Amino acid sequence: MYDRFNRDISYLRISVTDRCNLRCRYCMPEEGISRMAHDDILSFEEMVDVVKRGVARGIKKVRLTGGEPLVRKGIVELVRMIREIDGVEELNMTTNGILLDKYAKDLKAAGLDRINISLDTMNAKRYKYITRGGNIQDVLKGIDAAINAGLSPVKLNCVVRNHSDEPDAKAVKEFAASKGLKVRFIHQMDLETGHFSIVEGGEGGNCKTCNRLRLTADGNIKPCLFSDKAYDVKDLGVEEAYNKAITNKPEEGSKNQSNQFYNIGG
């Protein structure tokens, strides 16, 4: 499906939950998170319906994100259900990796293709600080589990403050090289002020070539990360929510004062 600016929209990112087992400083407030009401969260069947109707319109690639996708109960089953949809050419996930040691094999068996694992530092103390309590050993075990399970490629997502030469980022780059993995360096963004830039080693952040739509866990199709626009599949119906999201996809991002990273998925 093409939008008004001739961009071929073929990529759907689904935030399967707004819950997370970490509290990264740049993503989530420590307390006072406004959680989505349980009744508003889409069921797997509803998510599958959104994907199927998207595929009929030209969606080819799906990524599961969050919050933390691996804290959603039954996530392996959701992977299997989406994998079974004809026309989904690529099914990927972005995770913090904390629970990946437990799930990597099952995710692969259920049909997950690629995985991105977030890792901003190699220093255990800094990791704990940045994530407000995470244990880096869990992520490192998760990365090995993903490699051993045959998920391919495994990529690392590394959020940088200024540039990819800062010490934490350099250490992640060296670690990645030692494992034969690629790294995407994501400059820390601010939804509220509209501060964003192109992802190094990835596709995000370039409005001219943006081919994405996002589905939030509570059923809003969002045409742009840096926009308040949102179209609720429960109120409008899935087809109309797609129509509106496509018609209203902005030429470029501005600000988003309605979401934070943890409830839109990055």
Contact residues for ligand SAM, defined by CB under 6 A: 20, 26-27, 65-66, 68, 94-96, 118, 157, 159, 186, 188-189, 261-262, 265-266
- Identify the residue among 3, 68, 120, 168 touching ligand SF4 (CB under 6 A): 68
23 binds, among ligand SF4, ligand SAM, none (CB under 5 to 8 A by kind): ligand SF4
Length reported for the chain = 266
Closer to ligand SF4 by CB, 68 or 218: give it: 68
Give, in order, the Cα–Cα distances in Å from 129 to each of 22, 81, 137, 253, 264. Answer: 11, 36, 14, 30, 23
Name the 3-class secondary structure at 179.
helix
Q: Which amino acid is at 7?
A: R
Residue 216: CB minimum distance to ligand SAM, A: 12
Give 121's DSSP letter: -
- The bridge status of strand 212-215 relative to strand 11-15 is parallel
Helices and strands, number each (H, E), in the chain: 9, 9
- Identify the residue among 12, 14, 20, 88 touching ligand SF4 (CB under 6 A): 20
Residue 172: CB minimum distance to ligand SAM, A: 12
As a whole number of angstroms, the distance between CA 121 and CA 68 comes to 19
Residue 85: CB minimum distance to ligand SF4, A: 25
Q: How many residues bind ligand SF4 (CB under 6 A)?
A: 13
188 binds, among ligand SF4, ligand SAM, none (CB under 5 to 8 A by kind): ligand SAM
| Positive or negative: CA dihedral 54, 241, 73, 61 | positive
Residue 243: CB minimum distance to ligand SAM, A: 27
Q: Is 24 in the site for ligand SF4 (CB under 6 A)?
A: yes
Residue 157: CB minimum distance to ligand SF4, A: 9
Q: Which amino acid is at 56?
A: A
Q: Which amino acid is at 154?
A: V
Closer to ligand SF4 by CB, 219 or 265: give it: 265
Q: Is 262 in the site for ligand SF4 (CB under 6 A)?
A: yes
Closer to ligand SF4 by CB, 242 or 261: give it: 261
Closer to ligand SAM by CB, 3 or 131: give it: 131
Give, in order, the Cα–Cα distances in Å from 201 to each of 38, 182, 198, 204. Answer: 36, 8, 9, 9
The sheet with strand 154-160 has its strands ordered as: 182-187, 154-160, 114-118, 90-95, 61-65, 11-15, 212-215, 220-222, 231-232
Closer to ligand SF4 by CB, 28 or 88: give it: 28
* Footprint on residues 89-128 left by ligand SF4 (CB under 6 A): 96, 118
- For binding to ligand SF4 (CB under 6 A), which residues are involved? 20, 22-24, 27-28, 66-68, 96, 118, 261-262
